[in-house]
Amino acid sequence: MNNKSPKFVFMLIFAITLTTMYSTNDVHATSKDAFTSTQTPGFYVAPGTGITQMDSIVASLASLRGGVPLNHKLALGVAIHTSINQIKPKSETIPDIYMDYWSVGGFAEYSMPLNDLVTVRFPLYIGYGEVQMDSDEEDYWETGLGDAGFGESNFVEIEPSVLLGFTVNEFVRLDLLS
């Protein structure tokens, strides 16, 4: 894989993130009849991107979240995060070594609508993750020697965050993460 491929993938995912948070219903939509006023059942899917540092190297991350609104303010869901570029640690002395990262877990989210167009959301993500050292060696798939013998490191991830959402239309919301 050449150096331009991870940048292209990152930019593509970033563009998708800026334009989509697909939902089967608006989080604040209600259906009314003579007896009740309840929220229409539905779900949402939200792709995302992120940038962080691992061993002083920029790591591009992609994520996919899916959730179910329980009422006007609460939602539960699942998420997966993964690195999309090869993270080559500065402190590593063995050539052609890079790190892979992934995490999977669930989240609970509290929504606070400021008006019809802007919503502040507070998701709490709790998940299980892994960082593994891999090798660029050509013979990895043939000999199995490309993992450099480091194995993997597993961890629990707890990540509170704040999302500022701008409603584009009934089915699309643009989220900014802080």
- Mean pLDDT for 112-122 is 91
Q: Which residues pair with 108 in a beta bridge?
A: 76, 124
- In this prediction, residue 79 carries a pLDDT of 95
Q: Of 1-10, 70-79, 100-109, where does mean pLDDT reach its minimum?
A: 1-10
Strands (DSSP E) found in 42-116: 44-54, 57-69, 74-83, 97-113
Mean pLDDT computed over 15-25: 47
- pLDDT higher than 50, residue 18: no
pLDDT tens per residue, range 40-83: 668 888 888 888 888 888 888 999 999 998 887 899 999 999 99
Q: What is the pTM of this model?
A: 0.69
Q: How many CA atoms lie within 13 A of 40 on its CB side?
A: 15
**Domain 4-177, CATH 1.10.8 — does that match?**
no
In the chain, where are the structural domains located? 4-177
Is the pLDDT confidence value at 24 over 80?
Answer: no
Determine the average pLDDT of the residues in 136-155: 63
